[in-house]
Amino acid sequence: MSNSENGITGSLEDYLETIYRILGRSSVARVRDIAEEMKVSPASVTPAMKRLAEKKLIKYSKRNYIEFTEKGLFIARRTMTRHNLLSRFLTEILGINKEQAETDACSMEHFLSENSMERLAAFFEFLAACPDLQFLIDNGFSKCLEGETEQLSRCRWSICPLMNHDPDDNDKGLELIRLIDIDPGSSRIIARINADKQVRKQLIDSGFIQGANIILSRPGSNDLPCIVKLDGYDQELPLEIAECVLVHPEGEGKHEYEK
């Protein structure tokens, strides 16, 4: 059951994602860790690693540590991003509990197309940019779910009279900041990607989505790529690409999710 976009099965994608998670917290990924994390027997892991190596997604030789190839790393990150997007949609918009959302996201992630993924990422950017939408979901839909359904008892329900913010307030001191302009070492929340379609896609695939936590570990220069920590994982980023990442000003964008 090969998943549409990279000729690789959902199971193999899961293995890649797991390896990525493990490498995020410890310096090496071993068969045993993978087996534990995925709740399969170690005997299932070995042949999976062979299949991955065959497809040139990891470097693997018997009884040795596992390393990503470039392509493998790309797929791992993208799968992870899909997972995060789906999980956040389920928790933040639909209000599903964390565990259930994880389970659902874990299986659906293999089937979300590139297109849908990009649009879901855009939706979160829009949500972050539009306090009214946020307000509607937090105070309208969530309240509804909690059983305070009297709002729905009329046919229609308008938020406008309930709005507790002055429309003119919105622009005050809330300019977004470029990632490359923040203090190295300080932690921010990504607000938006401001780039052409291709670069945008590349960034989203790598996990640069609204709400993600980012630290600029090394500013970088024209020759030297930036180093950032995205949701706890190190990544290199050429300066001209890092320029496209906009973050919320300090303390803003509270809708951070846990990784």
Cα separation, 174 vs 32, whole angstroms: 48
Q: Kindly identify the residues of this chain, within the stretch 17-76, that bind DNA according to CB under 7 A.
A: 30-33, 39-51, 62-63
In the complex, minimum distance from the CB of residue 51 to DNA, in angstroms, rounded to a whole number: 5
Identified binder of a copy of itself from the candidate list 27, 63, 146, 155, rule CB under 8 A? 155
- Which positions from 118 to 137 touch a copy of itself by CB under 8 A, shown as an x/- string? -xx-xx-xx--xxxxx--xx
In the complex, minimum distance from the CB of residue 160 to a copy of itself, in angstroms, rounded to a whole number: 4
CB nearer to DNA: give 63 or 172.
Answer: 63
* Residue ranges binding a copy of itself (CB under 8 A): 1, 3-4, 90, 93-97, 100-101, 103-104, 107-108, 110-113, 115-116, 119-120, 122-123, 125-126, 129-133, 136-137, 140-141, 144-145, 151-152, 154-161, 163, 165, 167, 170-171, 174-176, 191-192, 248-249
Which spans of this chain sit near DNA (rule: CB under 7 A)?
Answer: 9-12, 30-33, 39-51, 62-63
